Every structure is written in structure tokens, then in C-alpha cells.
Structure 1
Amino acid sequence: MFKMNVSLTFEVLLYLNSYYFGLFAVCEIGMISVKYFSFNSLDHYSTDFGIFMAVCLIEIFRILLASRGNLTEKKWPVIVAILLTIPSVLGVVYLMIWQSEILRFEYVICGMQLGFCAAEIVTGILCLFSCCQTPEYY
């Protein structure tokens, strides 16, 4: 019977997301600066930038906490990281839909970030189930 190592899959997703989120943050900072200098009627610029910075802090903390919890096989850091995914997803949805000015490229990078978050939620929950089991020794 084929048995998938969920902990490894979760760690690989966290590793890939750590690099992708760096790219996401750099692109988003570039697009925020372009919007600031190009569009004159940005009433919610400070709100957009504040939400972006909050998403950055939450996402960095979430990735580090989930990775540490996964590597030490402790379930509480993974649970907190899964719960921190909710405000992170809401922030990315804000950047994707409710921002004052939205560029087409933002739809693409925000959609990919939401895909990473969804995959990490699923594998994180599956990893919790495998962490709760006692190991079988032969």
C-alpha cells in the first residue's frame, strides 16, 4: 500500500511558499509604488499599504511557525499557523479584489498565493492527523 509522507509534503510547500512570498512581496511593493506615482486619486493608499505590511508580517510568522512545528512534530505550532492562514488569506483577497486600484498582474500573483495557502491548509490538517498518531515500531 502506498503511504504518502504528509509531513514532507507540508514542509516542501512551506519551503516553496517562503521563496514565492518573497517574490510576491517584492512585486507588490513595486506595484504599490507604481500606483502611488501613476494614479492621483488614491484615497486608500495608506490602508492598502498597511494591509500589505500586515499580510507580510503574518505570512512570515506563519511560515516560520509552521515549519518549526512540522519539523519538531508538535501540533500546537501547526494549529496556530493554520489559524494564522485566515487573516493572511483575507489580506491577500483584499489586495486582489477590494484594493483601490488593481493591476492585472496582481490577480495572477494573489491567485497563486491563495493557491499556496489552500494547499498548506489541506496538508497542514493532514499533518496534524499524522502527528496525533503514535508511531508504529516493527
Structure 2
Amino acid sequence: MNTSLTFEVLLYLNSYYFGLFAVCEIGMNVVKYMNFPDLKHFSTDFGILMAVCVIELFRVILARKGNLTERKWPVLVAIFLTIPSLAGVLYFMIWQSHALRFEYIICGIQVGLQFVEIVTGILCLLPFCKTPEYY
């Protein structure tokens, strides 16, 4: 199977899933802020969420553009941008002060998608890096 196609399908799936993830996280943060008025880290949580949204947006755009044009640098930068995005999702899953059960589920799915995207992105880079043969 073509790894470029697999990578593109995963990026397409993640672009829609991350939109759902971001909307759910924003909604849950608003609900937690209303129900737990003594939250000390609300601004930190919201700032990390906005940073993860921006990073993930640029990551998906770079990866799709690099994959479609078969250029290695945009895909490589997108793979490296997965690290801060993954750290932000793990923050919501592990280190957040009040994490809901639904957050564990959606963060686990997002971590799984990002891990599979890293693996397929690296496999997708291999054909891009070989030298062209001229006949």
C-alpha cells in the first residue's frame, strides 16, 4: 500500500477529528470554569488549548501540502510539530487539575492518531528522500 495515501487519509481524518476535539475541549473548559470557580489554572489550560489548536492547524496544513507536492521539508517540519501538539494533548490527559472521563477518551484517541501519523509520516518521507533517476 502507498504510504503517501495512508498519510493523506490520516491527515484528512485528523483534520476533522481535531476540530471536534477542540470544540469539545473548549466546551468542557467553559463548563469546568462555571462549575468549579476555584480553578487556579484556568488561564493556563485555556492558553495551552489555544496554542495546541494553532500548532495543530499549521501541522496539518504543512503535512498535507508537503505530502501532495512530495517535498520532504514540510512533512519533516510537520512531524516535528507533532511533539508540542502531543505534549499539549498529554497535558489535558494527565497533568490538568480537573480532567473529565470524556477528556481521557478524546485525548487518548488524539494521541493514537498523532502516533500513527508520526509513523506513517516517517515512512512517507523515505520515498521522498531518494535521488531521482534520469534515463
Q: TM-score range by the shorter chain?
A: over 0.9
Query: What are the residue-to-residue correspondences of 1:5-20 with 2, within 5 Å?
Result: 5-20=2-17
The 1-side partners of 2:130 and 2:16 are apart by 31
The 1-side partners of 2:5 and 2:80 are apart by 20
1:136: Cα distance to partner? 7.2
Query: Which residue is 1:49 aligned to?
Result: 46
Query: Which residue is 2:120 aligned to?
Result: 123
Report the RMSD for the aligned CA atoms in angstroms.
Answer: 1.4
Moved over 3 A (4+): 134-137
1:61 aligns with 2:58: yes
- The one-letter code of the counterpart of 1:107 is Y
Number of residue pairs the alignment of both structures matches: 135
Which ranges in structure 1 are unaligned for 5 or more consecutive residues? none
Query: Which residue is 2:89 aligned to?
Result: 92
Query: Which residue is 1:22 aligned to?
Result: 19
The 2-side partners of 1:88 and 1:118 are apart by 11
- The one-letter code of the counterpart of 1:48 is D
TM-score (norm 2): 0.96
Residue deviations 1:62-117, cap 9 Å, x none? 00000000000000000000000000000000011111210000000000000110
Which ranges in structure 2 are unaligned for 5 or more consecutive residues? none
Query: Which residue is 2:101 aligned to?
Result: 104
